[in-house]
Amino acid sequence: MDRRALRNLDLLFILFTFLLLAASLVILSTASINVIKSDPMHYVETQTVWIITGIAIAVVIAVIDYQKWQHFRWWIYGFNLLLLLAVIFFGDTAKGATRWIYFTPTIGIQPSEFAKIFIIITFADFLTEREGRLNNIRDFIPPFLFVLVPMLLIFKQPDLGTTLVFAAIFVGMMFVAGANPWKFGGLLLGGVVVIGVALWLHFSTNLPGWLQWAQGLPLPLQDYQLNRLVIFMNPAADQTGDGWHILQSLWAIGSGGLWGKGYRMGTQGQLNFLPEHHTDFIFSVVGEEFGFIGTITLLFLFLIFLLRSIYIALRARDMYGMLVSAGVVSMFTFHILVNVGMTSGIMPVTGIPLPLISAGGSAMWSNMAAIGLLLSVNLRHRRLMF
């Protein structure tokens, strides 16, 4: 890489990335203190390792010209499918889901996290070839099938959260690629209506006579997944079951007030009433211990991070770079909105972690790889002049 390209580096984007990584360690130092009582700092120590190695991954990917990935589209796509198939046949099952491949009893990876990166760099090339030719429903079918295959393999695990992330990446990249906004938007709206009607028919117990045949309509989801999709609307209806997560999260955030209860002074998190408070519900700990000021500060960091990511996408020197950046922005935006939404009780609980903040090696590496892609596009946003 030509050193002159370093002049293009978005220092503000890098600064806010590091601020979020630092916030992760601070928040985890209180959120995970009582998760493993024999080793209170376990998650802080491991997260530090994931961050350092993740930075190395981001640097390596940033140094590589992002355009080189185009030459290996089908190899990467095939490897992605093989990795997801390996989970189904050789993965370890935990909490009713098979999502991990373990190399040792304690070291493993979650392939669905890396699948998001693989689909972004391959789907971007797939769409680049179709620029200007996404004008009707027939044109939407090949891109949909391209993303659908890995989505179904992830859905099979089952991993509804990552499946939805794939859908968000697909929608974001399709719009940026120039899909007809009226036809594509109408198709999406129709899909949402169909899903809503299907859920209503499944859960409704008082249908009119002409619809009695559809009562209890079977859906391709586990019972716990279906319940989580609707319980957020009335979590008190199942306080000790699927509504428990949401209620505990709401109590945690609500009790924080303006300034919070103080560092390590929370009750829902510190006393382990709040489930998964070092991963999926880590935002609730921020609300309880650091209050409204803490949550707003964290959301402000994310806002600047996303705005700089969009800025990088807009300055990309070609359509492929813009689409890669759009995929990354769509992924991060969906993660943040859904995680904050589910912890605040306004969205279903789908098991989506808070990017760059929640504990987890595979998620951190995936996030840092995505940041590396953004930096690669950023470094090459204008051709070098001689």
In this prediction, residue 232 carries a pLDDT of 83
Please report the pLDDT score of residue 212 as a whole number. 61
SS3 102: strand
Please tell me the distance from the alpha carbon of residue 66 to that of residue 71, in angstroms, as a whole number.
Answer: 10
Residue 323: enclosing H or E segment and its boundaries?
helix 319-343
Task: Identify the pLDDT of residue 95.
Answer: 64
Q: Hey, what long-range contacts does 189-198 have (CB within 8 A, 24 or more apart)?
A: none
CB contact at 8 A, 358 and 283: no
Give pLDDT tens digits along the chain (386 positions). Answer: 666 667 788 999 999 999 999 999 999 999 998 888 888 899 999 999 999 999 999 999 999 999 999 999 999 999 999 999 999 888 877 666 778 888 777 778 899 999 999 999 999 999 999 988 999 999 999 999 999 999 999 998 888 899 999 999 999 999 999 999 999 999 999 999 988 888 777 777 676 766 666 666 677 777 777 777 788 888 887 887 778 889 999 999 999 999 999 999 999 989 888 988 899 999 999 999 999 999 999 999 999 999 999 999 999 999 999 999 999 999 999 999 999 999 999 998 888 999 999 999 999 999 999 999 999 999 988 654 33
In angstroms, the Cα distances linking 223 to 92, 179, 226 are 21, 35, 5
In this prediction, residue 384 carries a pLDDT of 41
pLDDT at 386: 35
DSSP H/E element including 155: helix 137-155
- Pick from 119, 22, 35: which is nearest to 331 by CA? 119
Query: Could you tell me which of 4, 57, 35, 98 has the C-alpha nearest to residue 277?
Result: 35
109 three-class SS: strand
User: Interhelix angle for 137-155 vs 181-203, to 10°?
Assistant: 40
Q: Which is nearest to 193 in space by CA: 185, 203, 182?
A: 185
What are the residue ranges spanned by the domains of the chain?
A: 3-379
pLDDT at 2: 60
Helix (H) / strand (E) containing 17: helix 11-31
Closest by Cα among 147, 149, 183 to 167 = 147
Q: How far apart are the first and last CA of the chain?
A: 15
Nearest CA-CA partner of 183 in 220, 143, 137:
137
The tokens for 87 are 């989970």
Is residue 132 left, alpha or beta, with left meaning phi > 0 and alpha meaning psi from -120 to 50?
A: left
CA distance linking residue 6 with residue 314, whole number of Å: 18
- Tell me, what's the pLDDT at 117? 97
Residue 51 CB contacts under 8 Å (≥ 6 apart), including other chains? 21, 24, 25, 364, 368
**Cα–Cα distance for residue pair 118/99, rounded to 1 Å:** 17
Residue 385 is predicted with a pLDDT of 39
